[in-house]
C-alpha cells in the first residue's frame, strides 16, 4: 500500500481543515489487492487500485489480455469481454474501497484477515454497456460508495477505455459475509 496524497485547500492562504481535506488517498498493487480480496485467478479481475479514499471512492485498472480464460468461449472468432466480467471488475474495486476503510483505520484490527469482510454483490441496476471491451484494452474503473441501507451499501460504478464509456450503473453490495 502506498499513501499517495493528502487533499489540500486550493488557495494560497491558510485554510481551515475540513473533514474532506484530511482524507488521504491510497494506491494498492496487485499483491496488496490479493491480501484485501478473497478472489484468485481466474476470478481476480483488477490489477491495481489508486486514488482510493477508504470507505468513499476509488479508481482501478483492469488490463484485458487475450489470455483471459473467458475469451476461449466468448466468442472464439470475435473476442469480447463478457459484461458480467466487467461488472465483476467494478464490484471488486468496490470491495477494495470498502476493505481499505478497515486496513487504513487509525487502529486497524490486530488480527484477522481483512478479506473476510468482503461481502457479496446483491443487485445490479441501470447498468448500460456502451462499448465492446476486447483484448488489449485497459479498463479504467471508478466506484463511489453511497448511502448505507442497513447491511447493504449503494454504489455508483463506471468503466472506461480511454475516453470512451464502456459501462456504467449502480450496484448494491452487502457490507459483510453471513454464513
Residue numbers annotated as active site: 74
For residues 37 and 117, what is the distance between their CA atoms, to the nearest angstrom?
Answer: 9
DSSP string for 82-151: -HHHHHHHHHHHHHHHHHHHHHTSSS--SSS-GGGG---EEEEEEEEE-S---TT-EEEEEEEEEEEETT
Distances (CA, A) of 147 to 3, 25, 61, 152, 175: 25, 20, 25, 9, 12
Q: Which three cell numbers stand for residue 14?
A: 491558510
Amino acid at each position: 500500500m502506498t499513501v499517495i496524497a493528502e487533499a489540500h485547500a486550493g488557495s494560497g492562504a491558510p485554510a481551515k481543515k475540513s473533514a474532506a481535506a484530511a482524507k488521504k488517498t491510497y494506491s494498492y498493487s496487485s499483491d496488496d489487492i490479493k491480501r484485501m480480496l478473497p478472489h484468485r485467478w481466474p476470478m481476480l479481475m483488477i490489477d491495481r487500485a489508486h486514488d482510493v479514499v477508504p470507505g468513499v471512492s476509488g479508481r482501478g485498472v483492469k488490463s484485458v489480455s487475450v489470455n483471459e480464460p473467458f475469451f476461449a468461449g466468448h466468442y472464439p472468432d470475435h473476442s469480447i469481454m463478457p459484461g458480467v466480467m466487467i461488472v465483476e471488475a467494478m464490484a471488486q474495486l468496490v470491495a477494495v474501497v470498502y476493505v481499505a476503510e478497515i486496513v487504513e483505520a487509525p487502529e486497524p484490527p490486530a488480527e484477522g484477515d481483512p478479506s473476510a469482510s468482503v461481502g457479496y454483490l446483491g443487485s445490479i441496476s441501470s447498468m448500460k454497456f456502451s462499448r465492446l471491451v476486447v483484448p488489449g484494452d485497459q479498463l479504467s474503473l471508478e466506484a463511489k460508495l453511497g448511502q448505507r441501507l442497513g447491511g447493504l451499501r449503494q454504489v455508483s460504478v463506471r468503466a472506461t477505455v480511454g475516453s470512451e464509456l464502456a459501462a456504467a450503473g449502480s450496484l448494491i453490495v452487502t457490507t459483510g459475509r453471513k454464513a
